[in-house]
Chains A and B, each alone.
Chain A
């Protein structure tokens, strides 16, 4: 799967799609593949304050709980309601319909510290090499 070139990516495999100070956040295709079938998602309530690098959600497969870290700081304005009934949406469309939250950014400059698509693709190539060593 191609990584959208207008998204930014964190080392923890989250993506963020920002337009001005409004952003959408999700986990990447690499992350959903590592997890396996998603069975349960725990998302923050609207109004929750997020701090970059801190856990704000969890995504669970049958065998593991994965902590999801905020790629940027701000306020969660909406959680993806679709994921309660159909958590597998994250597996099927991680960069689109499987989005986790909408985030009102408090400091858009934080995005500069994140990777662009090319850098992220290189990053996960390294990860895959490590894993198969």
Chain B
């Protein structure tokens, strides 16, 4: 069997909960330079964790993600102007307490990173960014906001961030905070006392396609472990499991959520990635807008589609997509068995001519062409109650 551990000693970054994950016997992996749990064998592993999130509740340590606060120095709206310049979605539409999915683009319309923008206050925004792009993003933000009347704070190391996800996440959160969670709709947030910590940011956001919350607590060891244990305790009656990056990936893939360096990157533009819904070309100028306008006129040479394997075989990241004649027509960006669907699914960039639903394609799996077809995405959609629809 090929080696699963790296022979050379690389110094990896650790979240405050690193020791706790190791005490739980988690299998650890290097993710973007971070020593992170990929699954917990004592819970039953990846599939059990995935199913816990879909059917009950799971908790993830996502402290490796970064946090950048952009706030107005003199209440002149400088922070909003900076965010509007940096990010493609329209942050002026955000009420205080509201968040939106967005992205920072390069001048050529490709992705620096995707981000969740939270409006904390009058002229006060929090950008939550990916772990692997922390340094790049903060440098990009500082460079591109130097002409704006705002202050940029890198708060990435200040928080332990936990994601509590699943249909029972609300039940768990109710036990941990007296904040009025029913008033916090999807992609909104509040501040409240959670686990005796005042003014804790509690956001109804996540990366799983389920209802859920992300909470941000001080990153000291004692607090981090105390809060994690409180979440586990509160979730016991709902079958809560600690969940690692393995399940995080299968969950987000089923929900067709992009992963940087896979569906989005510095060589892929907004139209190709199918993220036009989050790109407000009419809001005013932003970095990348001009090139995006040109690209929109030129049309697509590739587009992101969902695939489902129709023959035995698992399509994986980087595998070639070919037509029946064996000619290359694209590449898989993310592929994996889907624990919820019991099928092997993938996201892939293909020629627009091969992107219609039902199109038969093949994925080259170790020199063999395995049949697949283009299917609708997301592959999985959670059931929402009328009250939850927003």
Contact of B28 with A131 in the complex, beta carbons under 8 Å = yes
Contact of A65 with B27 in the complex, beta carbons under 8 Å = no
How far is B1's CA from A5's CA once the two chains are assembled, in angstroms? 20
A127: Cβ under 8 A from any B Cβ = yes
Please give, as numbers and ranges, the residues of chain A lying within 8 Å of B1 by CB-CB distance: 12-14, 27, 31, 34-35, 59, 66-69
How far is B4's CA from A130's CA once the two chains are assembled, in angstroms? 11
Contact of B47 with A62 in the complex, beta carbons under 8 Å = yes
Contact of A37 with B2 in the complex, beta carbons under 8 Å = no
Please give, as numbers and ranges, the residues of chain A lying within 8 Å of B47 by CB-CB distance: 37, 62
How far is B237's CA from A122's CA once the two chains are assembled, in angstroms? 41
Please give, as numbers and ranges, the residues of chain A lying within 8 Å of B314 by CB-CB distance: 39-40, 60, 65
Q: Which of B37-45, B80-88, B296-304 contacts A (4 or more CB under 8 A)?
A: B37-45
Residue among B2, B45, B47 with max Cβ neighbours from chain A (10 Å): B2
B160: Cβ under 8 A from any A Cβ = no
B337: Cβ under 8 A from any A Cβ = yes
Contact of B316 with A65 in the complex, beta carbons under 8 Å = yes
Q: Answer whether A63 and B366 are a contact pair too, CB < 8 Å, given A36-B27, A39-B314.
A: no
Instruction: Report the nearest B residue to A130, measured CB to CB.
Output: B5
A58: Cβ under 8 A from any B Cβ = yes
Q: Would you give the 0/1 interface string for B24-51, flagging 1 where the beta carbon is closer than 8 Å to chain A?
A: 0001100000000011010001110000
Q: Answer whether A36 and B46 are a contact pair too, CB < 8 Å, given A62-B339, A131-B28.
A: yes
A19: Cβ under 8 A from any B Cβ = no
A6: Cβ under 8 A from any B Cβ = no
B22: Cβ under 8 A from any A Cβ = yes
Contact of A67 with B2 in the complex, beta carbons under 8 Å = yes
Q: Would you give the 0/1 interface string for B147-176, flagging 1 where the beta carbon is closer than 8 Å to chain A?
A: 000000000000000000000000000000
Instruction: Report the nearest B residue to A65, measured CB to CB.
Output: B316
Contact of B45 with A36 in the complex, beta carbons under 8 Å = yes
With contacts A33-B41, A64-B4 known, what are 17 further pairs, Cβ within 8 A? A12-B2, A14-B1, A27-B1, A31-B1, A34-B1, A37-B47, A39-B314, A39-B337, A42-B366, A62-B47, A62-B339, A63-B46, A63-B336, A69-B1, A130-B5, A131-B5, A132-B22
Ranked 6 nearest A-B pairs via Cβ: A13-B1, A31-B1, A67-B2, A63-B246, A66-B1, A12-B1
28 inter-chain pairs at a CB distance below 8 angstroms, sorted by A residue, are A12-B1, A27-B1, A33-B41, A34-B1, A34-B4, A34-B27, A35-B1, A36-B27, A36-B39, A36-B41, A36-B46, A36-B246, A42-B366, A59-B1, A61-B46, A62-B246, A62-B250, A62-B336, A63-B46, A63-B246, A63-B249, A63-B336, A65-B316, A67-B1, A130-B5, A131-B5, A131-B28, A132-B22
